[in-house]
Structure 1
Amino acid sequence: MNQIWNNFINWMPQLLGGAKITIGLTILSVSAGFIFSVFLALGKIAKNKILNSICSFYIFFFRGTPLLLQLYFIYYALPDFCPALTIGSPFLAAFIAFTLNSSAYLAEVVRSAIISIDRGQIEAALSLGFSRRQAISHIVIPQAIPRLLPPLGNEFILVLKDASIVSIIALQDITKVTQNIASGSASRLVYIPAMILYLVITAFFSWTFRKLEKKSIAYTEK
């Protein structure tokens, strides 16, 4: 038993190094994906048919194809399609794939939150001299934020766990580090602390989003 505990302690620095990659990739890709999703959502509800069609197809494509294949294409197939688009960094390739995929899912979340706001508020803002862009940015979006946080938190947790697939492009996340330790030490027990580490990270960010949601609701009720 002491040997097992000592192994856990020895493995932890490597696992924590992998956790930095996993968390960093998740935060960056979801943040960038959320920003992009706002434009996609606004494009999908726009009256411009061309813009609406482009945004709708983008969302359909990235929601309708597996993230794993998207990652494969960006890292392995894209250079064959256009050598100038070769991405040498596994982290950058993963960031692009996860951002594009996350933005498609979050776009539907943002769109639903926006259209859930009473349209009369937009019309009232327009009658007061606001432009449509100002009405959306100053009136609609602030009210939509509390409604966005729960699904945004869910997407964050999903991306955090889906990040394990980046091990296929040799990015040293938690899963890849775990595989390396397992093959090097011939001990499969490393999967135990790896799963515990995922649970701790997931629990922390779930708690964080719940706190943000409560604060956001309290702020809008003032």
Structure 2
Amino acid sequence: MTEFDFSFAMGLLPQLLDALPTTLGMTLLATVLALGLGLCLALSQIFDVKGLSRFTDFYISFFRGTPLLVQLFLFYYGLPQIFPAMTSISAFEAVTLALALHFASYMAEIIRAAILGIDRSQMEACLSVGMDRLTAMRRIILPQASRIALPGLMNSFIDLLKSTSLAFTLGVTEIMSRAQLEAASSFNFLESYLVLALVYWMLVIIMTWVQKLTERRLGEAY
């Protein structure tokens, strides 16, 4: 039985941390894009915008109904055959956009459910004092809905972080790719993937801590 190589594991950690900015960069950019797009999709459903709500239903159905890995390959390898301009997109950009488009479909449903969870009388009260629907949504409804949506959105953020591990399939050098390369060259698979798992775990712990702080802050008014 082969013993666990602690020296290799400790030597691998700095290499993973060196690739960590790539993982965090994809996560941050995709999260911002997905959150903004998810909000727009949710509002189009809430306000039942003519024509747009049907597109939203199709969008959510497609991105929730197909595997993320298939979407990555479709976006990076498939679409450039139809749109030659997309051949200039780097693997990092392709993964970031694909993650954003994928998780926006989930965030849209979370945000929509949170908005619908706010009593309808609050919108009616806003309209009665002269606010238009968008102003009421921005000033009154969304601040309250954000408190309801936060746990579900944070789960999506965490899932998005872990899904960046698929970026290695397109050749992006992030922590999963670095761990896999080291494991293949040294045959220390246990050490490589265990250290990788611990790095992801610590990132999720930090995100969970941020979630609790945010929930506490949002809950002060209640």
Identity, in percent, stands at 35
Q: 1:49 is paired with a residue of what secondary structure? A: coil
Determine the structure 2 residue equivalent to 1:28.
Answer: 29
Matches within 5 A, 1:101-140: 101-140=102-141
Q: 1:8 is paired with a residue of what secondary structure? A: helix
Determine the structure 1 residue equivalent to 2:146.
Answer: 145
Deviations 1:105-128 (A, max 9, x none): 000001001111111111111110
1:85 is the counterpart of 2:86: yes
Q: Which amino acid aligns with 2:193?
A: Y
Determine the structure 2 residue equivalent to 1:195.
Answer: 197
1:162 is the counterpart of 2:163: yes
Q: 1:86 is paired with a residue of what secondary structure? A: helix
Determine the structure 2 residue equivalent to 1:186.
Answer: 187
Q: CA RMSD in A?
A: 1.7
Unaligned runs of 5+ in 2: none
Match of 1:213 among 202, 212, 215: 215
Determine the structure 2 residue equivalent to 1:99.
Answer: 100
CA distance in 2, matches of 1:119, 1:17: 50
Q: 1:63 is paired with a residue of what secondary structure? A: helix
CA distance in 1, matches of 2:73, 2:107: 22
TM-score using structure 2 length: 0.94
CA distance in 2, matches of 1:42, 1:95: 23
Q: Which amino acid aligns with 1:199?
A: W
1:58 is the counterpart of 2:92: no
CA distance in 2, matches of 1:206, 1:48: 35
Determine the structure 1 residue equivalent to 2:72.
Answer: 71
Q: 1:48 is paired with a residue of what secondary structure? A: coil
Determine the structure 1 residue equivalent to 2:8.
Answer: 7
TM-score using structure 1 length: 0.94
Paired residue total:
220
Unaligned runs of 5+ in 1: none
Which has the higher mean CA deviation after the structures are superposed, 184-193 or 154-163?
184-193
Which has the higher mean CA deviation after the structures are superposed, 53-62 or 95-104?
53-62
What is the deviation of 1:146? 0.7
What is the deviation of 1:49? 3.0
For the structure 1 residues 136 and 3, does the alpha-carbon distance in structure 2 shift closer, same or farther, using more than 3 Å as the test?
closer
CA distance in 2, matches of 1:164, 1:2: 27
